[in-house]
Amino acid sequence: MNGRIASTTSRMTLVLLVGAQFVVMLDTSIVNVALPTIQDRLGLSHTGAAWTVNAYFLAFGGTLLLGGRLADTLGRRRLFTLAAVAFTVASVGAALASTEVILIAARAAQGLSAAVLSPTAMSILLASFPGNTRGRAMNAWGAASTLGGAIGVLVGGGVTAAWGWSAVFWITVPITAIAALSTRRLIPADTSTTRQRTPIDITGAASVTAAALSLIYLAVSVPVQGFGAPGTIVASIGGVAAMVVFCLAERRAADPILPLVLFRSRTVSLGLVVSLLGGAARASSFTIAALYLQQVMRMDAGTAGLAMVPTSVAGFVVTIVGLPRALRRLGARVTVTIGLVVLAVGHAWLSSASNWVHYTAGVLPGLLLIAVGVALSFTPTTILIADAMSSERPGLAAGMASASSQIGAALGVAVLTASIVAHAGPQPVLGASALSEGFKHAFLNAAGIATTAALLALSLVIANRERPVFGMNRLRPVNAASLPE
């Protein structure tokens, strides 16, 4: 009987954690489709409309690493509760916003809350589901991430049409509110083994956050402002200075927020690069592809959302059914490599989609390949990084994996968008053929990025032949204290 109760509690805990991740990823995409309506109703400027999206992305991606470290320092249950409450309040603020400034501020608050909520939830998951249960839990996590981004694109337009633009913010409030109220019952209290009591590395935390914010700001602003804009120059100089300060601080800190010794591990270093490049290639799954459907194939927002449904279904099925088997039989490294290769093939297919007339024959196969590639590469990359690090800091592992993927996504969207503009000509809106050429190069660039990531993942497979154990890799965790100075 006790075993059944424990099993039920574990399932409810997993639902709580993956539900939080679902909301975080939902908010990265659901506003995009509703943005034209928001701009019209609130009278947003073009800059305000852009920052309604970018404020969340900037705050989320820029502070993920700090959020993961705080989970190890301040206590995971406490921080998860506070983050869920903060996200709920920020969502209500966005839904009730009456001016551009209030809306952007609320979106930034959502991003900051998400940057704490996501790595803390993953940290709890890694600690709560050890051994052979972790693979299944991570599969659910990956499915929630995939569905969150895909469903945001799908339902954003419909929700806005039915209940108004504020509904895209109200829709997450019940989920995060329930998460906050359920935490004490479902998540065990932090103990001395799960909670670090050493002081926070303030200098390291501030500098690495500033560096990440500068990098993501450059990614979202350069395509619009150009390299010579004052804001771009200031962000570039500030980012380099922050990285210098960070490296110096981490050498001197008694308990660094990101021990540089971790990067002596080939698995951790290359795993983070694979995560960064993989995030850049996967970003087009929910942005560039959706733009292609609307701008080149001339679909309206609702039809484009429906056209993405097969992608969502395929990604969900592969994550739930195919991914667990691949992890058990092949291990995370091989699975990541295969996923990135499939992702590259999908982008390469879409680069030739302009040669086709119909969506079903030309575009759909590429979208399905991308969905399979995303499903097979996203979660295994996180598993690879987490398994290669010490189990004493699951929050740090979660933060590093999430931050590298999100920063990669920001850079990917910026690079691919710039590629479209560069190859479409100065007035792409006047010619569908010019736009088609721009998207062709964007998809080819995405294929190249995914191929590079696949080659790096393959080098890990070759360097250290692995044996899969219960869906996880038999990797030697990296413990900073055990590595030579």
For residues 476 and 424, state if they share a domain: yes
3-state secondary structure of 184: helix
**Which of 162, 181, 199 represents a domain boundary (last residue)?**
199
For residues 52 and 173, state if they share a domain: yes
478 phi and psi, to 5 degrees? -90, 120
For residues 346 and 402, state if they share a domain: yes
pLDDT attached to residue 354: 60
3-state secondary structure of 199: coil
Closest CA to 359 of 297, 273, 404, 296: 297
Alpha carbon separation from 138 to 66, 113, 127, 275, 375 (Å, rounded): 22, 22, 12, 16, 12
3-state secondary structure of 393: coil
pLDDT attached to residue 191: 60
For residues 375 and 464, state if they share a domain: yes
pLDDT attached to residue 73: 76
Q: Which residues, 6 or more positions from 338, have their beta carbon under 8 angstroms from its beta carbon?
A: 326, 330, 376
Distance CA 245, CA 132 (A): 41
pLDDT attached to residue 464: 63
Question: How many beta carbons lie within 10 A of that of residue 45, not counting itself?
Answer: 10
pLDDT attached to residue 92: 96
For residues 143 and 275, state if they share a domain: no
Distance CA 385, CA 391 (A): 11
Question: How many beta carbons lie within 10 A of that of residue 28, not counting itself?
Answer: 25
Distance CA 444, CA 435 (A): 14
For residues 363 and 419, state if they share a domain: yes
Closest CA to 175 of 97, 92, 115: 92
pLDDT attached to residue 355: 57
3-state secondary structure of 478: strand
Distance CA 86, CA 446 (A): 35
3-state secondary structure of 255: coil
- Residue 83's H or E segment, with its range, is helix 76-95
For residues 184 and 135, state if they share a domain: yes
pLDDT attached to residue 467: 45
Distance CA 191, CA 77 (A): 10
Closest CA to 136 of 125, 147, 149: 125
389 phi and psi, to 5 degrees? -110, 165
For residues 206 and 191, state if they share a domain: no
C-alpha 51: how far from chain center: 18
- Residue 325's H or E segment, with its range, is helix 323-330
For residues 153 and 228, state if they share a domain: no
For residues 169 and 244, state if they share a domain: no
> Residue 139 is encoded by which pair of tokens?
């599969």
Domain holding 301, by residue range, is 261-485
For residues 304 and 237, state if they share a domain: no
Closest CA to 108 of 149, 58, 66: 58
Tokens 């030579």 identify what position? 484
Q: What is the pLDDT along the chain (485 residues), one digit of tens a residue?
A: 444 444 777 888 888 998 998 988 888 778 876 777 788 888 877 667 777 877 887 788 778 878 877 877 778 888 999 999 999 999 999 999 999 899 999 999 999 999 899 888 988 888 788 777 777 787 788 778 777 876 776 777 678 778 888 988 999 999 999 999 988 888 877 664 444 455 667 788 788 888 888 887 787 677 667 777 888 888 889 989 999 998 898 888 777 877 777 787 888 888 889 988 998 888 766 667 777 887 788 777 667 767 877 887 888 888 888 888 888 888 889 999 999 999 999 999 988 876 556 788 888 999 899 989 988 998 888 888 877 775 556 667 777 777 788 788 777 877 787 777 776 655 444 455 667 788 888 899 999 999 999 999 999 888 766 444 334 444 444 444 443 33
Q: What is the dihedral of CA 215, 216, 218, 222, to 10 degrees?
A: 150
Contact, 273 vs 403, CB < 8 A?
no
Statement: the pTM of the whole predicted model exceeds 0.85:
no
Provide the number of structural domains found in the chain: 3
pLDDT attached to residue 393: 65
Question: How many beta carbons lie within 10 A of that of residue 233, not counting itself?
Answer: 11
CATH (domain of 162): 1.20.1250.20
Distance CA 298, CA 357 (A): 12
For residues 36 and 16, state if they share a domain: yes
For 249-278, the DSSP string reads HHHH-SS-SS-GGGGGSHHHHHHHHHHHHH
Distance CA 94, CA 53 (A): 12
Side-chain-side CA neighbours of 14 within 13 Å: the count stands at: 20
pLDDT attached to residue 456: 94
Contact, 34 vs 44, CB < 8 A?
no
Contact, 394 vs 123, CB < 8 A?
yes
Q: How many residues does the chain have?
A: 485
